[in-house]
Structures are given as C-alpha cells and as structure tokens.
Structure 1
Amino acid sequence: MKTNFIYTMRWKFILVFVLSIASVVITLLIAYQVFLRLVFIKPFSIPIRWVVNHIGSSPVLVVVGSLLFIVFFFTYSRKIFAFLEEITLGLKEISQGNLSYEITTKTSDELGVLAEHFNQMTKKLRKSIEEERNAEKAKNELITGVSHDLRTPLTSVLGYLELIETDRYKDEVELRYYTNIAYEKSKSLKKLIDHLFEYTSLSGEGIKLQLKKVNIISFLKQLVEEFTPLLKKAGMSCRLNTAEDTLYVQADGHQLMRAYENIISNAIRYGSVGIYIDILIAREHDQAVVEIVNYGEPISERDLPYIFERFYRADKSRSSDNGGTGLGLAITKGIIEIHGGRISARSNFKETAFVTKLPLTI
C-alpha cells in the first residue's frame, strides 16, 4: 500500500491547522458583527459595554479565539485520533493473544500503511503459530504412527524368537517355520525403517538432488523393462503410450526412479485384476505429464483425498498386512514436489490413475 504525498499525515495536520484557524477567524468575524448589533439592544448592551470597558475587546478575542481553535482542531482531527486509538487497541488485543483482530484501513496515509502492515503482521504471526502447531501435531502423529507400525512386527519377531529361545517347538521343521516368520517380519521392519528414513529426509530437506537432464520417455521405458519379471508374475503387462519422441526434465534419476517405482508397484499390487497397466506420457504447455493407470478395484472417494498422507491406509490398499508401510505414496509425493512438480490421483469403477506433472527443460 503506497502513500500519496498529498495524503500524508503532515499535510493532513497542516490542513486541520489551516481549517481551524480559518474557522476561528470566520467565527470571530461573525460574532463581532453580531456583538456590534447587540450593543445597542437591551439587555445585551450592559454586559457587552462592561466587558469592553473593563477587559477590552482584544484580550477577549484572543481568549475566545484560542478556545475556538482548540475546539475546531479536535473536531477536525477526531478521525485521525480515533484511528490512532484503534491501532492502539489492536496492539493491546494482539498483546493479549487475539491474533484474529484486524484494523479496518480507512485512510491511505501513514496510519493506513501502518494499519496495513499491522494486519499483515498479525496474519503472518497467526500463520506462523498455526504452522508451528501443525508441525507439533504432525510430529506427534509421526511418533504415534511409527510406534504402532514398529511395534506390530517387532512383537511377532520377539514372540517367535522367544519360542525358539525356550525350545518350544516340536522339530526342526517347526523351528525353521518360526525362524522364517521372524525373518520376514524383520524384513518388514527394515522396509518400514528405510521408508521412514526416506520420508524424514524428504520432509526435512535432507536430500540434495543430483540434477541432470533426463528424457522422461526413455527413463520410463527402461523402468518398465525392469518391472517385466514382476509383471509376468502378476499376470500383467504394461503399455506405454506417447506422441512425443523426447520430453526432457531436470531431475535426480535415482530419486525419480524411486517415485515411479512406488506408483508402478502399487499399480501391480492393487490392479492385477485389470491385467494391464497403461503409462501415458504427454506434453502440457511447459510440463511433462505422466499418467500411470491400472484397472483394479477403485479407491473409495472417502480415502482418495488422503492417500498421499503418511501412514494413511485405506481399507483395501494401505494395509501393512499386504506389504504396505503407509509411507510409499507420501515419499513419492515428496520426491515429485522437490523436483518442482505435482502429483494427484483419480479413481472410479473403470480405472485408477496417478498423474505426475514435472516442469520441462530445454
């Protein structure tokens, strides 16, 4: 908010001063003409003549003029002082913790600028406190989620190791069975810890990207080739469609691979009934758009807005029992965003699609 020179406080006070003097002069001139007529009219003539003879007209005019000047000055400047009082009240409110208080900007002078800055300050302070509260809440949720997800497999590992330690097994076959379960649960623990480390590194800006020029089309073709054994095992195949020859993005190939690996793995895990996975690559203005589509069971409308949140598990797809840690999509979202991109998802009874958009580079 810029201040017009004409509407600055100094000019307003000069204007108030001039108006006050002008009003005093006009008022005294009118009063003088009135008294000149009243001096010949009884009963006004006696007190008027007494004042003139004993005090004098000049002292009376000075005293009355001074009083009138004070009255007119406060009358003309009352809006300015009222605004100052409102700013003072605002400072008092914010000092008492009322960060929702806002001053109505009524002028374009320095006070208006001050009020605007005051409102911006309260908004930023309110946002800062809200972000701090959200960060504290997120930290508590993270601790709770980690504790829960670590405790479940760890309890199983300890339980089976206790059976082995106390020789409570029938034969070597049962021993190996217990050992295998403990081993698989330990792998789940490691996977969760690895994912947790990745997520905290991303959210805490602990990863330094090694950016290079990457052709997203050839990059995804190569990644699909690596998934061929897993696709065959699931009885699926992947179709890659694009009208472009090359689409270049600035990216850390290793991190980008982890992001798309998570999406494709999810597509295989939860879309196997659909047989196909389609990867559609296109140019949209200055962005490379990648859609990874599977034709399995849809994600419910209730779950869809939250699938990128850490530790969120929908009824069918976000369960630790089927291998999910609840962090895969949160990690994917973090990787895409630190590359300056965006990720979204849509799902209906026909298909489920994860859409990523990354800025193109020359």
Structure 2
Amino acid sequence: MKRSFVHSLFWKFIFTFIASILSVSAVLWIGYYLAALLLSFNPSSSSIFTMLLRWFINQIGSLPLMTVTGVILFLAFFFLYSRSMITYIEEITGGLKEMAHGNLAYKIPVKSFDELGVMAEHINVMASRLKQSIDEERDAVKAKNDLITGVSHDLRTPLTSIIGFLEYIETDRYKDELESRYYVNIAYEKSLKLKKLIDDLFDYTKLTSGELPPALEKLDLANFLRQLMEEYVPLLEQAGMVCRIEAPAGTLLIEADSAELVRAFENLVTNAIRYAKEGQYLDILVAQADGQVEVIFRNYGQPIPPSDLPYLFERFYRADKSRTNVTGGGSGLGLAITKSIIERQNGAIRVASTGRCTEFVTVFPLAGKKEASPHHLT
C-alpha cells in the first residue's frame, strides 16, 4: 500500500491537535464576547447565570476560568476528532483476538492509508500465509496417512496370497508335483506384483520429494517417440494392436529428462495395451502450436466413466476396481508417476474419454519456452 507523507499517523495526530486548539480558541473567543455582551447589556441583572458569571470573574478571574474551560474543551475536541482512529485501533485489536482464537480466515478491513492501515494489511497477509502454511501441513499429514494406508492395503493383498500358497506347500497339502508347481507359480507372480508395487512406490516417492531434479536435455520429441514405440512392437503384436504415429515434418525440440520421459510414456502405452487392446489401435498424435508441443495417446477401448476422470492421476486410484483381477491390474501408481514426471519436465497432462476413444494429452513447451499450459491446446 502506498501512502503519502501527510497520510502518516504522526501528521494525523498533529492535525487533530491543531484542529482541537483552533476549535477551543473559537469557542473561547465566542464565549468571551458573548459573556461581555451579556454583562454589558444587563449590568444590574440578578439572574442566577449572570450572578455566577460575575462571581467567577470577580473571585477567580477571567484568565483562570478560560484556562480551565479551554483544557476541558481541548480534551473533548481531541477525543472527538481522534475517535475514528481510536475506533479503528479497537477494530484491529478485535481482529487480532479473532485470529488468536484460530479464525485465521478473518480479514481486518483496511480503512486508511496511514500506519494503522498498513499494519492491518500486514496482519491480514501474515494470517493468510500462516493459514496457508497450516493447511499445507495438514494436507501433507493427510497425504502421508493416505499414502501409508494405500501402501498397507496394496502390500497386504499379494503378501497374504504369497503366504497362503507357501503355507499350503510347506504343510504338504498339495496333491502332486504338478499342483505344487502351480502354487509356486502363483506365489512367484504375486511376488513380481509385489516387487513392481514397491518399485513404483520408490519411484513415486523419489519423484515427488524433489530431492533429485531432472537431468534436462534437448530431445527431438517425434523421433524420441518413434524409437520408443519400436521397442513395443512385440507387445503390441501379442495384444493384437497396431501403433500409428502422426507427427509434423521437422524437428520438435523440448527440454526433458529422457529416462524419466521413457517411464512416463511407457505407463501410457502399457495402460493402452492392458485395458484397450480390443480397440486394436494406439494412435500417437504430435502437434505444435504457439511455442508448445502436444502429444496425444489415443486408444479405442472401453471409455473411462466421467466420475473417475478427475481422480485418475491420484495415487492408488483405479478407475475400474473389478478389472484388477481380470487383467492383472497395476499398482495404482502408474498414472500418478506419469503426472509427476510430466510436470517435472515443465509439462502438463490431462485426460478425456468419450464413447469413441480415450485420450491422454501431454503438453510440453518447446526448448527455450516457458512452462506448458494443460489447456493451451485443444
């Protein structure tokens, strides 16, 4: 808040002081001449007021009388003129009491440009930042508790199965060697799932902690995607799918950590293979506009329900709870990891799903540009 010199609290008190003196002088001057006029017109008047006035003047003197009257009037006028400042101080004090009782959302109105107004504004900013800090700490505690709950739940399920099958083998409750190998194979598959969950959890924690910044380098995004998808040809053929890539001619350079970007795109590709192979095609569309590059991973499988879309990138969230048992599912961390990686590359990601297709849209700024906006391209 900008304030001029004359709007300072010091000068307000000076003006109040001067205004009080001038007001007292005016009242005393008017009173003096009214009294002189009254006494001169009624020299022999016997009214109580006139008698008292003559007695005070004769016994005490006009100067002491005017001095006492002036002091009383000065205090009255000073209190009257400074009442707004006193009221505002009381209002600020009341606001501080509200905040002290935990109501950090309370805002003290800023009514002036002096030190009181500046103080009120600073108190509001301080309370707002303190509230934000407390909310962030509360959210962090909640996130940690949610993470522990999610990890405990997802670790317990495969671990319980592994212990159950190993106990079955340990107590010789299988019929023959073939059944024993069958149980061992199930326990092995569950162990792999458990290892993947632990690896994903480790990666997610490493990415979100911010301790290791990405090693950014310039990448030709279209060429990067073509090389990546060559490695997925066998898996796509096994799933009966074909990947089609559309990209503009020329070089589209972005700044990204290639190892992290591989992990992010792998999650999107494996999701399409796992959940959308009936659609037969995985289309990867690359477009450029206004200093940004948009990459669309489009599959034609079953649509994602609209109610699930806002939560798809949350950790341990699975849009289709039943498909875990059918397809082998995932750790529930894949898309959360993807989002963290994309944002670490100064990019953004969003998802849209209709009856025709599902699109995961990633947006990156071209090399040397600012951060990408998730809604910049359509």
Tell me: CA distance 1:316–1:222, structure 2 relative to 1, closer, same or farther (3 Å).
Answer: farther
Q: Which position in structure 2 is the counterpart of 1:255?
A: 260
Q: 1:355 aligns with which of 352, 361, 366?
A: 361
Q: 1:244 deviation in Å?
A: 4.2
* Residue 70 in structure 1 maps to residue 75 in structure 2: yes
Check conservation: 1:282, 1:290, Cα contact below 8 A: yes
Q: Distance in 2 between matches of 1:110 and 1:320?
A: 67
Instruction: Return the match for 1:53 from 33, 55, 58.
Output: 58
User: Residue in 1 aligned with 2:317?
Assistant: 312
Distance 1:299 1:168, change over 3 A: same
In structure 2, how many angstroms separate the alpha carbons of the residues matched to 1:100 and 1:277?
49
SS in 2 for 1:319: helix
Are 1:250 and 1:360, in contact at CA under 8 Å, matched by a contact in 2? Answer: yes
- Superposition deviation, residue 201 in structure 1: 1.0
Tell me by how many angstroms 1:5 deviates: 2.1
Asked if the contact 1:242–1:280 (Cα under 8 Å) also holds between the matched residues in 2, the reply is yes
Could you tell me whether the CA contact under 8 Å between 1:244 and 1:282 is conserved in 2?
no
Match of 1:35 in 2: 35
User: Which of 124, 128, 134 lines up with 1:129 in the alignment?
Assistant: 134
Q: Point out the more displaced range, 8-17 or 181-190.
A: 8-17
Q: Which residue of 1 aligns with 2:9?
A: 9
State the Cα distance separating 1:318 from its structure 2 match.
7.0
Does the CA-based 8 Å contact 1:312-1:318 persist in structure 2?
Answer: no
Corresponding residue of 1:104: 109
Does the CA-based 8 Å contact 1:105-1:112 persist in structure 2?
yes
1:10-44: per-residue Cα shift (whole Å, max 9, x none)? 11111111111111111111211221222244413
Amino acid corresponding to residue 10 of structure 2 in structure 1: R
Asked whether the equivalents of residues 318 and 324 of structure 1 are also in contact (C-alpha less than 8 Å), the reply is no
Could you tell me how far 1:187 is from its partner in structure 2? 0.1
TM-score (norm 1): 0.96
Q: How does 1:1-362 map to 2 (within 5 A)?
A: 1-39=1-39, 40-41=41-42, 42=45, 43=47, 44-315=49-320, 319=324, 322-362=328-368
Alignment partner, residue 372 of structure 2: none
CA displacement, residues 105-132 of structure 1 (integer Å, 9 cap, x when unaligned): 1111111111111111111111111111
Structure 2 segments unaligned to the other structure (5+ residues): 369-378
Distance 1:226 1:258 in 2: 13
CA contact (8 A) 2:350 2:362 kept: yes
Cα deviation, residue 46, structure 1: 1.5
Specify the code of the residue in structure 2 equivalent to 1:5. Answer: F
Measured after TM superposition, the shift of residue 320 of structure 1 is 6.4
Flag the 1:318–1:175 CA change in 2: closer, same or farther, 3 A.
closer
CA RMSD between the two structures? 1.5
- Unmatched segments (≥5 aa) in structure 1: none
Give the C-alpha shift of residue 284 in structure 1.
2.6
Distance 1:311 1:173, change over 3 A: same
Offset from partner CA, 1:34-72 (integer Å, 9 cap, x none): 212222444132111111111111111111111111111
Cα distance in 1 between the residues matched to 2:224 and 2:175: 52
Deviation at 1:317, TM superposition (A): 8.0
Paired residue total: 362
Contact 1:318 1:326 in 2 (8 A): no
Cα distance in 2 between the residues matched to 1:318 and 1:312:
13
Deviates more, 1:208-217 or 1:153-162: 208-217
2:12 maps to a residue whose letter is K
Deviates more, 1:123-132 or 1:84-93: 84-93
In 2, Cα distance between equivalents of 1:32 and 1:154: 101
1:358 is paired with a residue whose SS is: strand
Secondary structure at 2:136's aligned position in 1? helix
CA distance in 2, matches of 1:238, 1:4: 68
For 2:356, the aligned partner's letter is K
Q: Percent identity?
A: 55
Moved over 4 A (4+): none
User: Measured at CA, do residues 269 and 152 of structure 1 come closer, stay the same or move farther in structure 2, by a change above 3 Å?
Assistant: same
Q: Distance in 2 between matches of 1:16 and 1:200?
A: 62
One-letter code aligned to 1:299: I
> How far apart, CA to CA, are the structure 2 residues paired with 1:317 and 1:11?
74
User: How far apart are the structure 1 equivalents of 2:323 and 2:27?
Assistant: 84
In the alignment, the residues of structure 1 paired with residue 74 and residue 253 of structure 2 have an alpha-carbon distance, to the nearest angstrom, of 75
Q: 1:225 to 1:74 in 2, by over 3 A?
A: same
Q: Measure, in 2, the Cα distance between the counterparts of 1:108 and 1:342.
A: 42
With the length of structure 2 as denominator, give the TM-score of the two structures: 0.92
2:216 touches 2:345 (CA, 8 Å); kept in 1? no
Once the two structures are TM-superposed, the CA of residue 209 in structure 1 deviates from its matched residue by 1.5
Structure 1 counterpart of 2:95, one-letter code: G
Counterpart-to-counterpart distance in 2, 1:202 and 1:191: 16
